[in-house]
Structure 1
Amino acid sequence: MNRVSIRKINELNVLREIFNQAPTSRADVAKNLALTKSTVYSIFTKLANDDLIYDIGQGSSTSSGGRKPALTNFNASVGYTINTKINNDTISCMSNWLDGSVIAYQEFPVTGKDASQRLLSLYQAIKTAQIDDHDLLGISVAVYGIVRDNRVIRATLSDLPQFDLVQVLQSRFNVPVVLGNEANMSALHIRDFTTTKPVKSAVALSLSDGIGAGMIIDGNLYTGARSEAGEVGHALYYGRYFDQPVNVEDIAADSAVFARLKTMKQANVNIADLRRWYDAGDAEVLQVLKDFCLGISMVLQNLILSFDPEKLVIGSKIMRAIPELLITIKQMARLSDEVPLSLAKNVDQAALLGGCAAITRHILGLPTGELVFKNRNAPTSVE
């Protein structure tokens, strides 16, 4: 390994240390990374020249006295990212500073069902989210489908793979673009926005539009040989009401529940309707939800027995509205209280924050290793 390569590795390690520990000092970084003070001071100078860090004053002196150290912070507002998700009827859009802090979040309606119309809505959402007087540094897009080598291979929007989404956005905004499967992005959110301790194994189970599982194994996103790992919704379900086996996501995804109830009730159905019918003990609704719980319990059993994750987070608007279903699912799957199962606090935003982590890592040149992002609404600015 030549000196240039070693220097670059040291720069990235110092940048990671500042990102995770800020505010911090040159002396602490040198100690934590076992680097010489001269090396660290030189790297600090370069990072400051690149506007990635800035000094914020002096810290406390040690118990033995001596000069107070100069404290340095990561400059999160050097630029921002725009992170999006293509939904069935909307485009979710979030802008973030480089530390993950949320600047703004908005849902944009989609007119029409064709992928070309979705892309037009996506473009308009990104244009609206741009911030004057700050540099847009990158864009992420989460989709419901298979993404391989930063290109959509298959999607619930069947005509979306016809478009080179990265090329379309890069040509218009001239910044790097990262695409990702929605469940995989949600798994990155679990890993990179958990501040208590590093997450080495986790599963994000997404039930919104189909069923997908994003998996973190040994601290890294696992996508499989063909980027199709986690497509658990395609497992066959043999159950009542169906003459032939169907995909489990046809009964146990949020979208499937609403589709079945729309047919039964001969009307559009929303979350408030579902909660009201559940509380009233509507027999038809309770049966649909029982099938929903049974399908999810089957999926959870397989995921837990296969991966034994330290965290498993379910993203479901139905289960957020009716959290009692989680108890039913645990009973059906015979899961003990030791199983680390929880519901996503904000189903709409998990994949956006995961996309923020993915594109920010790309921008900083830190694709692997621990980075601790901030999940807050207060932007960080240079003082």
Structure 2
Amino acid sequence: MVQRSMNRNQLHDQNLKLVLQQIFNNHPTSRIEISHQLNLNKSTVSSLYNTLMADGYLSELGLGDASTAGGRKPTLVAINQSYGYTLTFDLGYRHLHALATNLNGHIWKYDRIDTKGQSIHDMIDQMTQYIAQLQTDDTTAHGLLGICFSIHGIVDQNRVQTSPFIDMDGIDLEEVFHNAYHVPVVLENEANLSAIYERDFNGARQLNSTVTISIHRGIGAGVILRRDLFRGEHGDAGEIGQTVLTVTTDTTGHVQPIRAEDIGSEDAIIRAVEAKKGQDNLDRTDIARLYQQHDPDLTLILQRATIAISSLIYNTMRTLDPDAFFLNSPLIEEVPDLLDQIRAGYQQLAHNDVTIDLTTNARLATVLGGCSVITHRALGLDGYELRFERPETPANA
């Protein structure tokens, strides 16, 4: 099929987005540098620059150094962080994570709010109160620009399809928050957001295809194929925790599948330890303590879990053939030896050197991935690659 050429307005809009992308990715920069990078003439770049400046997206920082050939010093420019802010909520089982970021992706405010045992209605009340406080403290020109929700479940067509840990009670988050604040609202699976975080904030931006495996109460994966997020036809891609590793049969001959997250998830590990020890209400810190004590029961449970995760990585490698794997797991952060065990288990199966690394800033990975998604939307740059600076971890993270 022959592709039709763009008309003048379409070309102008594309060039405007390319200039905005260049400024976001190369701050500070200058009009002459943008002209070189995009191979556009100086007058065209100046016109586009003036449009973005008039709209308030840019902030001039002063004069840079003149080129070696001499001439006038260029005016340096960056994204105007005082234009407005975006907000991401991660609806976790025990906590609500909230991250507010300026339009340039820099963190303004981060909070973790205890929500264990709360209904979705209670959580909406908490989020509404949080936004009200942000609006009181806000000094930007345009205020709230968009909201992203990180969902521990399946999302399709911007709707929560399944949410195993939180009863959504028929709530349409997009409708509720768009009607309240009149800004774009995006819902995305938390593992997908972790994968976007790796692509846009970390070294994975140099890789073509990656899989980020989130190991929390369950196990899910975010899949980046050729730089794009792969969600599947119904949002189910990446539900690898449901992968059947083996099956057993009960006394009636009924088949009982054993899934990867039945063995390898953080929740499964904690439940297995609780059952073995006859204790309740253990958490990640207790697991790390028992590991340091070389507890024999925990050693066997973790051995099974790392084998399950190694097998999952191997099966995914054979299916998708990515450049690298990243593990988003606060438990592995607490017990780094587990990463070495997973790598060793994979080597026994695959005999190749695929990269298996731990996600840095695991506690912020999903909300930072959400920052990328909603910043793209706020800037009108969906489908354009944006590079974000990796932030310092807030003290309260």
TM-score (norm 1): 0.92
Work out the CA distance in 1 between the residues paired with 2:116 and 2:204: 42
Work out the CA distance in 2 between the residues paired with 1:305 and 1:370: 28
Asked whether the 8 Å contact 1:111–1:117 carries over to 2, the reply is no
Q: How many residues align?
A: 379
Match of 2:280 in 1: 267
Pairs within 5 Å for 1:77-156: 77-110=82-115, 112-130=117-135, 131-134=137-140, 135-156=143-164
Q: How far did 1:336 drift?
A: 5.8
Pairs within 5 Å for 1:1-383: 1-110=6-115, 112-130=117-135, 131-134=137-140, 135-157=143-165, 159-160=167-168, 162-194=170-202, 198-238=206-246, 244-265=256-277, 266-334=279-347, 338-377=353-392
Q: How far did 1:176 drift?
A: 1.1
Work out the CA distance in 2 between the residues paired with 1:200 and 1:161: 39
Residues 1:305 and 1:347: Cα distance change in structure 2 (over 3 Å) = same
Work out the CA distance in 2 between the residues paired with 1:317 and 1:66: 53
Work out the CA distance in 1 between the residues paired with 2:132 and 2:263: 37
- Write the letter of the residue equivalent to 1:260: A
Q: How far did 1:365 drift?
A: 1.1
Task: Provide the secondary structure at the position in 1 that maps to 2:342.
Answer: helix
% identical equivalent positions: 34
Work out the CA distance in 2 between the residues paired with 1:198 and 1:279: 36
Residues 1:252 and 1:240: Cα distance change in structure 2 (over 3 Å) = farther
Residues 1:336 and 1:18: Cα distance change in structure 2 (over 3 Å) = farther
Task: Provide the secondary structure at the position in 2 that maps to 1:244.
Answer: strand
Work out the CA distance in 2 between the residues paired with 1:162 and 1:248: 29
Q: How far did 1:316 drift?
A: 1.0
Task: Provide the secondary structure at the position in 2 that maps to 1:24.
Answer: coil
Larger mean CA deviation between 8-17 and 194-203 belongs to 194-203
Work out the CA distance in 2 between the residues paired with 1:350 and 1:158: 20
Q: How far did 1:88 drift?
A: 0.7
Q: How far did 1:343 drift?
A: 1.0
Task: Provide the secondary structure at the position in 2 that maps to 1:64.
Answer: coil
Residues 1:288 and 1:195: Cα distance change in structure 2 (over 3 Å) = closer
Asked whether the 8 Å contact 2:249–2:256 carries over to 1, the reply is no
Work out the CA distance in 1 between the residues paired with 2:325 and 2:76: 37
Asked whether the 8 Å contact 1:101–1:378 carries over to 2, the reply is no
1:23-48 per-residue CA deviation (whole Å, 9 max, x = no partner) reads 11111111211112111111111111
Q: How far did 1:347 drift?
A: 2.0
Q: How far did 1:297 drift?
A: 0.9
Residues 1:127 and 1:341: Cα distance change in structure 2 (over 3 Å) = farther
Task: Provide the secondary structure at the position in 2 that maps to 1:370.
Answer: coil
Output the aligned Cα RMSD.
2.2
Asked whether the 8 Å contact 2:248–2:258 carries over to 1, the reply is no
- Write the letter of the residue equivalent to 1:355: G
Q: How far did 1:234 drift?
A: 0.7
1:138-188 per-residue CA deviation (whole Å, 9 max, x = no partner) reads 111101111111111111136326111111111222221111000000111
Q: How far did 1:356 drift?
A: 0.3
Task: Provide the secondary structure at the position in 1 that maps to 2:145.
Answer: strand
Unpaired stretches in structure 2, ≥5 consecutive residues: 1-5
Work out the CA distance in 2 between the residues paired with 1:161 and 1:4: 45
Q: How far did 1:340 drift?
A: 1.4
Unpaired stretches in structure 1, ≥5 consecutive residues: none
Larger mean CA deviation between 233-242 and 316-325 belongs to 233-242
Q: How far did 1:270 drift?
A: 2.1
Asked whether the 8 Å contact 1:330–1:336 carries over to 2, the reply is no
Q: Which has the higher contact order (CA 8 A, sep 6+)?
A: 1
Work out the CA distance in 2 between the residues paired with 1:277 and 1:194: 32
Residues 1:54 and 1:125: Cα distance change in structure 2 (over 3 Å) = closer
Residues 1:368 and 1:198: Cα distance change in structure 2 (over 3 Å) = farther
Asked whether the 8 Å contact 1:210–1:253 carries over to 2, the reply is yes
Task: Provide the secondary structure at the position in 2 that maps to 1:11.
Answer: helix
